[in-house]
Structures are given as C-alpha cells and as structure tokens.
Structure 1
C-alpha cells in the first residue's frame, strides 16, 4: 500500500507546481503590438436634400370663376405684370358695358340739370324767377352730380372686376407649381400657381433630432448629385423648432450665397457637415476587448513587457478602427492580435512578420 501513496503524492506535487508557476517562468507570448496615436478628428455627416426658392408665394384670383386658359408651364420664367391665367370674363364684360351706358346717361342727366340750374339762377337774378324754382333746380343738380359720381364708381368697379379675371405675375419669378387647368372652377383666393421669387436659392434637409443635439453646423458643403466633384458653400439659415410627427425629423434650411450655374428648383443636392471632435486616440478594432466594467484594452509595459487590462471610453467606431477619449495615451503600447490569450502579468513579445 505504500507505493501507490508515494505515486499519488508525486503526482499532486507535479500538478501543484504547474499551476503555481510564475508568469516570468513562461515563454513570452508572441502578439502584435501597436503604438497608440492621437489625431485631430472631424466627424462628417452627409444627407441628401432638395433645392428650393428662398421665398415663394401663392398666386390666386381675387374672384371665383371658370378657368379658360393657363398661359405658363412649370419652370417658366415670368416678368412682373405678365399674364399667367385667364378666367371666363363674359359677365364682367357685360357689367362693364352696362356701367359705361349708365355713365353716359348720368353725364347727360348732369348736363341737363346744370343747364336747368343756370337758367333758374339767371331768372332769379333778373327778377323774373322765384327762389323756390332756383332751389329746386339746385337740388336736381346735386342729385345728378351724386348719380354721376356713383356711375363713375360702378364703372371703375366693373373694370377692376374685368382686370381681376386675368392673373398676372406680381414680380419677376419662376413657376414652380401649377394647381389649375383650363375648364376648372375655382373660388376666390384659391391658390392657382406657386411662384418662386428670383431672389435666391436654398437647400432643405431633413435632420434627425439626434444629429442636432450638439447644435447644427453653421456651414454646409454642398454638391449636385450629377456633379459631386464640384462643391459650393451653404449657410444654415433656419432650423424648424418642431419635429415632424410623421418622419421624426427636423427641417433645416441652408441658404446658398453663390449658387453654381445650371442649378434650379427641385434639383437634388448632397450636403456634408463637418464637426470637430478634438483629439482622439485611434486604435485598430482588433485591440478592443472587454472587462466586467466595459470596453478595455491590453497595455504593454515597454520595460518589463508585462500586460495589464485597462478600461477605456469609446467615442465612436469606424470601419476597422475605434476612437477613444479616455484610457489610452499617445505612444502607449497596445496589444492587437493575440489579446484573447492574455491575462494580467503575462509577458509578451512582438510577433515577427508573418508569425
């Protein structure tokens, strides 16, 4: 029975010695090591938007009626006073003729009343007439003057109503929306055409609310989708105070001080905003590991070549790399490939090329 006991004790001693062997006694583990680099980072965000007019207005007829003609198409450039659309004007033309006839009658009545007053006044002055006759003639003259003024006002209203059957451009502009067609019945002040005033262009983008938490950038780099190599500058001019309930986005308008030739309303554009993120440490993605407290990396002591696990603060991830704000300093040695075999105090060495 003594021999088996001795063998068991020797086996336990050998096993115990293997577990308790110090890290220094092991052969250094070959791993890839990189030096942490601090770089100035800028975050670029790109969105697609649409070119719009800086200012636009809805052109409408002041009266209702049936549309007989629309003289402009989408994209047409019009000058101030140019006719855009026409309503059926038969009633207004008849009203003008009736008002003109009424004015002729009122003028004739006024001339006759004036002559009657002059005659009655002359007879009263010569003693051949009475004051009552003169006063009656004067009353008729005043009534004729009132009727004449009313007839002139009615003619002015009739002519204005006739002019209102033609929709004219209030200023130099471009037609960007057409909402009426010939034969359509429209009401007074119903929008007929949308006009873009020729006083500048702007691009409108839909930003997610999260992108605006740190504030919107003041300058946006713009480019047409048809020619992305040609960029031009845009300046943020307006940020909507409301979030669109349907899309969950915020409308941001970007003014274009110097638009390139050929760009027009409705063109798609790409806007790129750059935001400085300060000095960040860049590491290969393979350097990342984790501890119970979150993301971590293995640091190497250049003097002893021992490794230790340190937690880090991640700013953002990119393709093949990660950017850190805390936990790693410029020039520190960080393990990349081979980190899964490490434990605190493990001695490592730089792996040779191809190893």
Structure 2
C-alpha cells in the first residue's frame, strides 16, 4: 500500500510538469472582404481624329512650311511641290483660251454679217450656213480650251497641301527636296481638339471580366494631374508580336497642359465577390492541396484545413474557399505545428 500511494503522489506532483506548454504563434482572424483589384498600364495620348495628308500627284517637294506641333488654320498652305511644269501648262492653257475666245468672237461676228447680207440678197444661203458651221466649231474649241484651263488650274492647285480645317501637325514625314509619289503621306494632322489615350493591354487581362465604365488617367510627368476617360474601342485582333490588344480610351476632361504624344497612366478597379485574404505566411500544404492551420477557439488546438487559392498577390493570398469568415488561422510560427498542438496568440513581430 505504501508503494502504491507513493507512486500516485509522484504522478500527481509531476503531471503539471509533463503537460505541454502552448506554442506562441501569430494568429490571424480570417475576414471576407470585397475583392477589388487595381490594374495600371502606361499608354500614349493621341488625336481622336487623325488625317494623313498627301499630294494627289507625284513630284519633288519644294518646301514644307510647318513642323510637328504647329497649329494651322483652315486653308493654310502646309507644303508645296516643284510646280514649274504646272505653271507652264497653265500659261499655255490661258493662251489657248485667249485664242479660242478670239476665234469664237470672229466666227460669231462673221455669222451676223452673213445673216445681214442674206437678208439683203447679197450672199448665198450656203455661205451663211458655212459661217454657222464655223461658229459651232469655234464654240467647241472654246469649251475645250476652258476645260484645259480648268485642268491646268487644278494641277497647279494639287502642288500644294492645304489644311482642311483647324488642326495640329502631329508628324512630319517628308522634307524639302524629297521626291514623293502620288498619295504618299507627307504630314499627319490632328483634327479638332479631342484626345484619346491608347493602351496595349496584355491579352490575359481581357479575360478578367467586362471592362469598367471609367478609367482614371494620370500624366506620367505630372502625377498630380488626374482626369478620366471612357473606353471607346477595343481592337478585335491580338497583336501577334506583342500578345496585346489595343484599347482606346476617350478623354472626357483633358487638362489644359495635355498634348499629343504625352505618356499617361491608366488605372481601373475591378470588383468581385468577397474573398478571404490572408498573409502569405499562413500557407502550408497537404499532399494534394494547399492548407492552413486553423485554431479551435475552445481548446486552442490546431488542425490542418485544405483550401483553394484564388490567386497569389504581393504579401497576401486570396482564398476561393475552405475558410469561413471569422476563423482563427495561424500565421508566423506555423512551421512548428502538428495536428492537435495547443497554441497561444502573440503580437506580430514577437
């Protein structure tokens, strides 16, 4: 009996000493929050309405009168071709028209004279009809001379590029002395005052959901300048070289300092259903899936819970399912755990 009592006493005395000390770990409370993601890309400001202007005929450029960035008014001459041949053709056409007019006037007077003589019986009807035929021929020659003159004037006018309206020169693609062909672009104009921001969006981003209604824009060199835009066009073709899709954003409230070619940053916020977002330190693994250590608030014992990861972000993990809102999850210190291990919470960084 003495030996039995002694053993019991030793067991009672040593039991607290043999009990496992709770492991100090960081405990994070899971909380489902709206899934909002902000995406930013860099684009370029371009003209909403662009026009490439060219000469309707080929030739050697005599002068280009504007540079990129210049603002021009309607009717302003922007560039000229060497027009020596056209000027000579115009002078020849003017001389031909003067001759045709003189011949027409002479034929008309001759017909009047023949009709007067015929009334007095001083000439024959054949002579009168011959004078009428000569007038008809003179009329045809006059009409032809006028048409030749019109063509010569148009050919001379085609040696100049004229601004079709208020515009800004965005690109100069030819220089004086250069020989250009018909319809070869010489200048690029921005018509009106509208601005577009054009972005090359990675193809994968186009699958994230419908595009947002508004895009927030910031000038790269002036981040404090903020304005907005609306997506107006999405290219149906993926660029095979870059794997991107061209997206055009119409600027709605451009600042006064905005100009063509300025780099801008476009930002959009995409919202989705609420997800549990936890620090990356909570993630461990089972044999076939990611997992986290969940704490039983009654006993403070841990157990492994498989989870499904929606995506990984910098410093955090967004869970698709597996953890309920309000669950207690072990953060730092999870590498020392095993199922049933009792833990206690400490402040982060301790």
User: TM-score scaled by structure 2?
Assistant: 0.91
- C-alpha distance after superposition, 1:71-126 (max 9, x if no partner): 10110000111000111111111111111111111111111111111111222223
Q: Would the aligned equivalents of 2:43 and 2:199 in 1 still touch at CA under 8 Å? A: yes
Aligned to 1:265: 260
Query: 1:285 and 1:188 mapped to 2: Cα distance?
Result: 64
Q: How does 1:240-279 map to 2 (within 5 A)?
A: 240-279=235-274
Aligned to 2:293: 298
Shift of 1:271: 0.7
Q: Once superposed, what is the RMSD of the aligned Cα atoms?
A: 1.7
Aligned to 1:6: none
Aligned to 2:130: 136
Aligned to 2:330: 335
Uncovered stretches (5+) of structure 1, i.e. residues with no partner = 1-23
Tell whether 2:221 aligns with 1:226: yes
Shift of 1:27: 3.8
Aligned to 2:178: 184
Q: Secondary structure at the match of 2:253?
A: coil
Tell whether 2:236 aligns with 1:209: no
- C-alpha distance after superposition, 1:147-191 (max 9, x if no partner): 011111111111111111111111111111111111111111111
Aligned to 1:350: 345
Query: 2:313 and 2:60 mapped to 1: Cα distance?
Result: 61
Aligned to 1:49: 43
Tell whether 2:90 aligns with 1:93: no
- C-alpha distance after superposition, 1:300-344 (max 9, x if no partner): 111122221111122222332222221112211111122222222
Query: 1:167 and 1:43 mapped to 2: Cα distance?
Result: 50
Q: Would the aligned equivalents of 2:277 and 2:319 in 1 still touch at CA under 8 Å? A: yes
* C-alpha spacing 1:353/1:184, structure 2 compared with 1 (3 Å): closer
Query: 1:351 and 1:200 mapped to 2: Cα distance?
Result: 58
Shift of 1:28: 3.1
Aligned to 2:158: 164
Shift of 1:238: 0.6
> How many pairs does the alignment contain?
332
Query: 1:162 and 1:266 mapped to 2: Cα distance?
Result: 35
Q: Select which of 97, 106, 112 maps to 2:100.
A: 106
User: TM-score scaled by structure 1?
Assistant: 0.89
Shift of 1:41: 2.8
* C-alpha spacing 1:110/1:292, structure 2 compared with 1 (3 Å): same
Q: Would the aligned equivalents of 2:26 and 2:348 in 1 still touch at CA under 8 Å? A: no
